[in-house]
């Protein structure tokens, strides 16, 4: 699939398919929702990288422990 818009996915030839997968990326808001995109961009502009420093090290440690056990 090349892109998503609302409830539809489009292949590289432009053919439209109804997205019935209920994937984690689409949730119930559809693909490429302008209001959601604006809210995400606004939040990212205010917060930036939230996994920096201590949080990133904690996340990496937890992930590594899960991988080796």
pLDDT in tens, 28-69: 678 888 998 888 888 777 766 565 677 777 878 888 888 886
| Alpha-carbon span 6 to 15, nearest angstrom | 14
What are the extents of the domains in the chain?
A: 3-68
CB within 8 Å of 16: residues ≥ 6 apart? 8, 9, 10
| Alpha-carbon span 62 to 48, nearest angstrom | 22
The answer on pLDDT for 14 being more than 90 is yes
Residue 50: predicted pLDDT: 60
The answer on pLDDT for 2 being more than 90 is yes
Model-level pTM? Answer: 0.49
């Amino acid at each position: 699939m090349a892109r998503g818009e609302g409830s539809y996915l489009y292949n590289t030839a432009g053919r439209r398919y109804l997205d019935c997968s209920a994937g984690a990326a689409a949730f119930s808001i559809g693909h490429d929702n302008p209001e959601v995109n604006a809210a995400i961009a606004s939040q990212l502009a205010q917060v930036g990288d939230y996994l920096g420093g201590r949080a990133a090290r904690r996340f990496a440690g937890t992930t590594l422990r899960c991988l080796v056990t």
